[in-house]
Amino acid sequence: MFSLPVWSIKNKEVTALPILSIEAVARPVFIVAVLVVLIVFSSLAVTYAAFQYRLLFNKQQVFVQQWDEFQVEWGQLLLEQSTLGTNNRVEQVARKQLKMMTPQPDMIEIVQYER
């Protein structure tokens, strides 16, 4: 199967190289094939993990943006609540919608609690 080149023959004496058996050749080829398959699967797994990371990162950015919008809306609602709860506003609503008025001093009666 293997032979030496002509220039390496010394004194016309040729030493025979051992012939490799199928088992001796098949085992390293099998190991290399398995390693190549594992490397391919590993590279596909890395690619898939990077893809999933990008998807999750995009979702996280959307959630952060929504959070910021909710924070702005919450601040506006708190401001509106504080505006609607002031004494001046309550008095205006009481006068206009409920037709209430401040009583005159002669309309005020003091009730004492007796035991």
2 — pLDDT class (breaks 50, 70, 90): low
Whole-angstrom Cα distance, residue 48 to residue 21?
Answer: 41
Closest-CA residue to 63 (of 74, 75, 71): 71
Report in angstroms the alpha-carbon separations of 58 from 7, 54, 72: 67, 6, 21
Whole-angstrom Cα distance, residue 61 to residue 41?
Answer: 30
Whole-angstrom Cα distance, residue 75 to residue 77?
Answer: 5
Mean pLDDT, the chain, integer? 87
Rounded mean pLDDT, 13-37: 83
Higher pLDDT, 75 or 93: 75
Half-sphere exposure of 90 (CA within 13 A, CB side): 6
Tokens of 70: 């909710």
Q: What is the pLDDT of residue 68?
A: 97
Whole-angstrom Cα distance, residue 36 to residue 46?
Answer: 15
Is the model's pLDDT at 5 over the cut of 70? no
pLDDT digits over 31-64, tens only? 999 999 999 999 999 999 999 999 999 999 999 9
pTM, rounded to two decimals: 0.51
Q: What is the pLDDT of residue 75?
A: 96
